[in-house]
Each structure stands twice: as structure tokens, then as C-alpha cells.
Amino acid sequence: MTIITRIASGQHPYPVSPRRLGSARPGHRRNCAKCERDFIVGGVRIPVNKGKIMMLAAASSPAPASTDRIGPLSPVALHRRRLAQRLARDADADGRFWCSVVTTGIYCRPSCPSRHARPDHIRFHDTLDDARRTGFRPCRRCHPEGRGLTEERRFLVDKACEIIRRSGGAATTAGVAQAMGVSPSHLYRVFRQVLKQTPGTFARSILREPKPSTIRCTGSASLQGRVAK
Ligand SMILES: [Zn+2]
């Protein structure tokens, strides 16, 4: 027998041990040991694998705007939550805080794809200025000073669409990649992540159009919510 509880804005992704819930009753707030988010204890009990507890939404309680702002966190809890977000490379955390690594002397966005440092070597900063004040340099992979990874991908795809459109659909993936100074495989991967189609498919759709001059790149305008996480 396990207790089904929930995170305030929806189903909670991680099982939580019964011990962690303690004497919590439905409606009580607890903090997930894994992702450091607060969740609301629900009233439903269903068996889940290995005696763990899944967090599910309780229909009666209204969801707050953001799970990030359920309540004030202690500095320790805040640090643990940020660490969990960093380890998960949570892109939603980008812009909310920055992290630096004392051993490498680099600061990053939370979503940085670089290899993780040891947790005790990571420091978190509320603002970009705080991160700069460490004297460290910005990461060359996640570019904390510039556009985010998501924006970077959209920008790249927008630019590629524009090149393909100007060529009337004749441009090849390799040619576009060369013009943009990126590798064809990178362009191909990002293009698929953002537009859910390959550069070749996009080019052929341009070729099929009777009036190429009216084709417009849909790189960022119509892709809200479709960008790869
Ligand atoms: Zn980085």
C-alpha cells in the first residue's frame, strides 16, 4: 500500500519513499528529496513499484502558477533544488540562476550540456552579475552571456531556413552548414529538434511551392512550444 500524492502543478515525476512523507495528511506540503520541489500530499492510495509513492494531482487543490514558487525555501533547500535542476540540465531554470564551478573557473547556465562537476565544487548565483563577480569566465558551450540554448537553436534554424529559401530550395544540408560555419550533422540535428523535419524535407517543400518568393521561414514564428527541450 502506498500513498498517492502530487506536486502542485501536476503529476510528480519521482517516486517518494513512505518514510519521507512521515505523518503528512492530504493537503500537507512536503519536499521531494530528489528534485527538491514541494508537493502536496493527495488522498488517493494505490500500490506502486517497490513500495514507492507516486505524486499525483489532487483534483481539489488549485495549481499555483509555478512549482518553483510554492513557498519560500531555506537556503539549504534552495541549494539542493538548484543542484537537482543543474543535474537534470533543466532548461526551465535558465535565467533564474547561474552556476559556477570553482575547480574550472567557469560559470554556466543550469541547462549547460557540459559534463557535471562534483556537487561540492558547484556554486549558485542569483544573478548573472553575481556569477561575473566570481572572476570566472563564461562557458563556451552554454554561453551564459548570450542567447540561451533554445534561442540559439531557433536562431540557427531561422538562418538556415533563410538560406534555403533564398536558394529556392536548391541548397543542400552540407552547403547550408558550410555557409553557416557549422557541421552538417549539427545543423541536421538542430533542424530536426526545432522544426521536426530535416533540412532536406524543408528544401523540398520550398521546391514544390509554385511561388518561392512567398514562402516564409517558420523557424521561430510558428514554433512556439515545439522547440526541443
Ligand atoms: Zn556551460
Residues 6+ apart with CB under 8 A from 64: 8, 9, 70
Are 199 and 160 spatial neighbours (Cβ–Cβ below 8 Å)? yes
Whole-number Å distance, alpha carbon 153 to ligand 1 midpoint, is 15
Neighbours of ion ligand 1 (CB under 5 A): 108, 112, 114, 139, 141-142
How far apart (Å, rounded) are the C-alpha atoms in residues 54 and 97?
28
Output DSSP code: residue 144.
Answer: T
Whole-number Å distance, alpha carbon 159 to ligand 1 midpoint, is 23
pLDDT tens-digit profile, the chain (229 residues): 344 455 544 555 555 555 666 666 666 677 766 666 666 665 444 344 444 444 333 333 333 333 444 457 888 889 999 999 999 988 888 888 999 999 999 999 998 999 999 999 999 999 999 999 999 999 998 889 877 667 778 889 999 999 999 999 899 999 999 999 999 999 999 999 889 999 999 999 998 887 645 545 555 444 444 444 3
Whole-number Å distance, alpha carbon 145 to ligand 1 midpoint, is 10
Task: Tell me which H or E stretch contains 61.
Answer: none
Whole-number Å distance, alpha carbon 119 to ligand 1 midpoint, is 15
Domains of the chain with bracketed CATH: 3-59 (no CATH), 75-138 (3.40.10.10), 149-214 (1.10.10)
Are 219 and 207 spatial neighbours (Cβ–Cβ below 8 Å)? no
